[in-house]
Structure 1
């Protein structure tokens, strides 16, 4: 942690000390400003004027009031505003007591709502500027009077901007925390439901057969010596029941595997060299598929080759599932400069459960594959009907370009 971050944390832990330091800084600024003549020969002249005792007292009281600005912002604004009005009427030369009122107005604006800020800002601006113009010792059009008007407006605006930023940051943080809680609760709920489902299925599959095995084994043990034929028959029932239990248990456990989980690999990962074979499997299932290639026999990195194949496979699967029985699909693989472009089109009417733009696990999987290779994927409905999947994949990945072994994750 940097020294600045540590100091900021300490100040946040002790807000009263921070306000006291701010009040001291404001008091020093007011004292310095009270001895300066901004209209001197050299634009700023020191020690030309000296504030009277009342002005010094008002500056001190205004600074002390700022120490409690977080606890009672409206009361501090009222006090500092009163001190500023008194100084505007009696001060000659005038001391910058209004600086404390500007800080108090900023605090009100940063800690309350916009409507309260608007009312407090207009009231403070009107009272301080009106008192300075109408009852002050300077002409109403003096620069000091206009400065009070400007600084009060700046204080209210800055405070409102800080409050708005805090509200936005807090809203973002709350949304993130709410989303995290929702994800955790949803994960726990799904785990609990899955555990109940597995327990129910295993009980239904195993309990009956195990009970049957237990009964038949008891019968076989009981009649083994006196009636061996009946014992053999009971053992045959035990064997058949155990075989049925194993088969059903294997089928139940197989349900736990997601439909898209790959089996243990026994051959190289597929690529575009098997595109005709892939299209043939869909043709045998009744889908009309046309394939066009213009990639000039480009040798692709294994990761790009696999991603292109999987994109086409998933896109044709979506056509088979959602585009209707009479749909036609067109697959094109084209090399364009340093990229390979894969496009899958269909003319099906589709159904209400068809893939939507940005939705579905299949489209999400395609997008994750393409993005992992720093490519782009565009999916969406076509004008006049049908769906379009368009992927642009770089021919050279980072690992291929540097000559390092392996593939991108």
Structure 2
């Protein structure tokens, strides 16, 4: 549907309305032409009244496309009323009033106001020139009424314009708000999917990698060392059971439709590091941990990030390094903690049984995303002296009085690693 005033085709209902408005304006013009001063009865309209009514009503449909031209035409017809010996009354200027309303609706306020004031002044001036010297109080009130009618119509048209602009602004605001909500919803869904993908990747990659390593060891030693094979199979059962429990818990959270009634299990953090390292020991990877500086408790989000980065880095060592040892170093400063995971492996891409390993996945990408999400950064690459290095710097909150010195011992894989500031990574 095209809007009025755009010059395009008009709907059927609009033509009926235009016809009714034109007919009413034509009738009022003829009524005004039939009026006369001091006459007690109506007389048939003269030919001049018909002429003015036809010309004024003929330009009415043009008020939508060219309101200024229509206003000029109706004003000119109104100026001819007095010279043609007709009475200048409100009915005879009905077309000018209709055009004044349309002009105020479709034209900028200042331009419309100037045009309406000019039209009213011309109507008054044309009548005063003819009646100069014989003007009565009755004529003055009639002329003032005629001049006021287009101005009042202009005020009503301006109010309509303001209301339409307000409704259009509200519709535009609602549309933009809807687009913003949809965009925000899509962004939230994408972020949530990325978060779930990282969690599932860390969980599955760690547990399945350990299970694969234990199963490989059991298959490799099945004929020569039955007792060690039995131990590996037992550890494999424990690993897969842990994996099933964690997957069940994660999927349970995803299936929840509302807030949990009871608090969920706390997210893993560095406090569970000994348990994590024990799981790698069962898979055949010995990990030494060193701490430099003063350690302190981390916020939950930062604690989870540090834990997941260590977990994924050691998982990559188990999958790709082709070595049985790795080192983890925590360097604590007043505003950041640096976590470094290194190994001396050759980066072999084959398993102990000779089967080719899978291509690299999203481990490094996930670690970088986690570090960036908490305001840190991560670097990874081969070391010049051999092996691979993963290093991340994570920002720390201001230190509190609950800090503790990291000069004690940390239990790692059934042995003790002493934290010394001078240990090589």
Into which bin does the TM-score normalised by the smaller protein fall? 0.5 to 0.7
With over 3 angstroms needed to count, the CA separation of the structure-2 counterparts of 1:72 and 1:136, relative to structure 1, is: farther
TM-score (normalised: structure 2): 0.52
2:123 paired with 1:125? no
* Equivalent runs, 1:242-253 vs 2, <5 Å: 242-250=240-248, 252=250
CA distance, structure 2, for counterparts of residue 101 and residue 232 of structure 1: 104
Partner of 1:238: 236
* Equivalent runs, 1:76-91 vs 2, <5 Å: 76-91=70-85
Max Rg structure:
2
CA distance, structure 1, for counterparts of residue 37 and residue 231 of structure 2: 117
Output one character per residue of 1:76-115: Cα deviation in whole Å (capped at 9) or x when no partner. Answer: 1111111111223323345744211111111010112222
Alpha-carbon shift at residue 66 of structure 1 (Å): 0.4
Alpha-carbon shift at residue 223 of structure 1 (Å): 4.0
Contact 1:35 1:51 in 2 (8 A): yes
2:15 paired with 1:21? no
Higher mean C-alpha deviation, range 239-248 or range 154-163: 239-248
Partner of 2:334: none
Alpha-carbon shift at residue 134 of structure 1 (Å): 2.4
Where relative contact order (Cα < 8 A, 6+ residues apart) is larger, the structure is 2
Output one character per residue of 1:48-85: Cα deviation in whole Å (capped at 9) or x when no partner. Answer: xx333233112111101001211111111111111111
Partner of 1:150: 148
Alpha-carbon shift at residue 250 of structure 1 (Å): 5.0
* Equivalent runs, 1:196-207 vs 2, <5 Å: 196-207=194-205
2:100 paired with 1:105? yes
Contact 2:81 2:87 in 1 (8 A): no
With over 3 angstroms needed to count, the CA separation of the structure-2 counterparts of 1:232 and 1:91, relative to structure 1, is: farther
Partner of 2:158: 160
Partner of 1:187: 185
Higher mean C-alpha deviation, range 121-130 or range 168-177: 168-177
Report the 3-state secondary structure (helix = DSSP H, G, I; strand = E; otherwise coil) of the residue aligned with 1:92. coil
TM-score (normalised: structure 1): 0.54
With over 3 angstroms needed to count, the CA separation of the structure-2 counterparts of 1:51 and 1:93, relative to structure 1, is: farther
Higher mean C-alpha deviation, range 17-26 or range 187-196: 17-26
With over 3 angstroms needed to count, the CA separation of the structure-2 counterparts of 1:150 and 1:121, relative to structure 1, is: same
CA distance, structure 2, for counterparts of residue 241 and residue 219 of structure 1: 14
Q: Which runs of 5+ in 2 are unaligned?
A: 1-9, 264-425
Partner of 1:33: 32
Contact 2:71 2:100 in 1 (8 A): yes
Q: How many residues align?
A: 250
Output one character per residue of 1:30-64: Cα deviation in whole Å (capped at 9) or x when no partner. Answer: 223322458544xxx333xx333233112111101
Output one character per residue of 1:212-245: Cα deviation in whole Å (capped at 9) or x when no partner. Answer: 2123224434543453223212212312322332
